[in-house]
Structure 1
Amino acid sequence: MSQGYYLQALSGVIKELLPRKCHKDFDAWMQNGTLRLAPKHGGNGMQLARLDYQAVFLIEDLPFKELDPALVLATVAAWLQDVDTEREQFELPDPDYDVEPIDDRTADLTISVQFSEPLFLLPDAAGPIAYGGQRYSVAPYEVWVAETGQVRVNGGQPGSTEEQP
């Protein structure tokens, strides 16, 4: 995922959980962003940078007797652990949240999550981005991972790690 896809994807998961009447009172945005330059070739494309940002999710007038805020928080925690597999590697802090009671039936729930996402470029002759003498589009690309391989050392047989005379 890239280009704020974590924000978009988690927004969708939270919105699915909310009663339909709460959809109009749900908002999500990015703030405190940093564009960390970290170019890395990936075969079919490249990572140009990392987008580090704080995602804020706001549910106004959450009917907490109808939908327990703990259910929303558990959903966010589960999604982060299933999807954002780089959190530990980048030492991202745990999410913050705030529940502000409005009356005896509703509260505003704000959840803040720090994300670090790759900004991917895909080669595209007509792409809008010029970088390193080529044209690119901003888009995720398929990363191919080798599942098997052979090692040859100094002309040895496949799998050989000994030097041949």
Structure 2
Amino acid sequence: MSHVSQLDSLTAFLRGCVPKRAMQSFSSEMTSLKTIPAGKSMGMEQERLSIIRYDAELIWERFPFRECDPRLMMALLEVWLASDSADRELFSHVGLSSADPDWDIELIDEETAIVTVTVPMAEELIIVPDDAGDIPYQGKQYRLADAEIWTALSALIYAPGADVPGATQ
């Protein structure tokens, strides 16, 4: 299974929405990386070892602000942050109450600017058993994985003494 980080997801989203001319001098990277102990059994043999806290740094070294309205970048970032791809629930686990992006814009000339956006991110570090895995943990081999969460879409609930369809007495 190939892991797609939030940074990878955000970068792909921007590359798909922003005009190519504006993405020519674009880079994205993780900075201020920390792991926060948060071990937890996630069910289905999944183990969360920690939460990874980092800043996603998005940099446009020659952003053509006359050709591409900078507000487009802001709107796209807000849309991505509000999407399911941006799992912001972990922020309370790492002591962050706000995850607002920081924007820094430095004009180069009348056509271009250096634009740097720093976005706080938090992701779970999940492992699952795998005999061919690279991670020895509690006497077994594991591999990195994305958390797999199953959600019940419906349920039958029976109360004691209630008639159960198909049951015989």
Tell me if both proteins adopt one fold, taking TM over 0.5 as the criterion: yes
Q: How does 1:89-100 map to 2 (within 5 A)?
A: 90=92, 91-100=97-106
User: Is contact 1:120-1:141 (8 Å) kept?
Assistant: yes
Taking the aligned partners of 1:120 and 1:128, their CA distance within structure 2 comes to 13
- Report what 2:120 is aligned to: 114
Which of residues 145, 150, 155 is equivalent to 2:157? 150
Q: Structure 2-normalised TM-score?
A: 0.80
Taking the aligned partners of 2:73 and 2:112, their CA distance within structure 1 comes to 14
Q: How does 1:10-159 map to 2 (within 5 A)?
A: 10-44=10-44, 45-83=46-84, 84-87=86-89, 90=92, 91-147=97-153, 148=155, 150=157, 156-157=160-161
Q: Match for 2:56: what amino acid?
A: A
Distance verdict in 2 for CA 1:70–1:3, change over 3 Å: same
User: Is contact 1:29-1:57 (8 Å) kept?
Assistant: yes
Give the gaps of 5 or more residues in structure 2: 163-169
- Report what 1:9 is aligned to: 9
Taking the aligned partners of 2:144 and 2:25, their CA distance within structure 1 comes to 31
Taking the aligned partners of 2:157 and 2:139, their CA distance within structure 1 comes to 34
Taking the aligned partners of 1:110 and 1:88, their CA distance within structure 2 comes to 24
CA distances 1:48-95 after superposition (whole Å, capped 9, x unpaired):
211000110001111111111110111011101113242585224211
Taking the aligned partners of 1:92 and 1:127, their CA distance within structure 2 comes to 36
- Larger mean CA deviation between 82-91 and 120-129 belongs to 82-91
Taking the aligned partners of 2:43 and 2:89, their CA distance within structure 1 comes to 24
Q: Match for 1:115: what amino acid?
A: M
Count how many residue pairs are aligned between Structure 1 and Structure 2: 155
RMSD: 2.4
- Larger mean CA deviation between 82-91 and 38-47 belongs to 82-91
Taking the aligned partners of 2:67 and 2:140, their CA distance within structure 1 comes to 54
Distance verdict in 2 for CA 1:4–1:112, change over 3 Å: farther
Give the gaps of 5 or more residues in structure 1: 159-165
Taking the aligned partners of 1:119 and 1:149, their CA distance within structure 2 comes to 34
- Report what 1:163 is aligned to: none
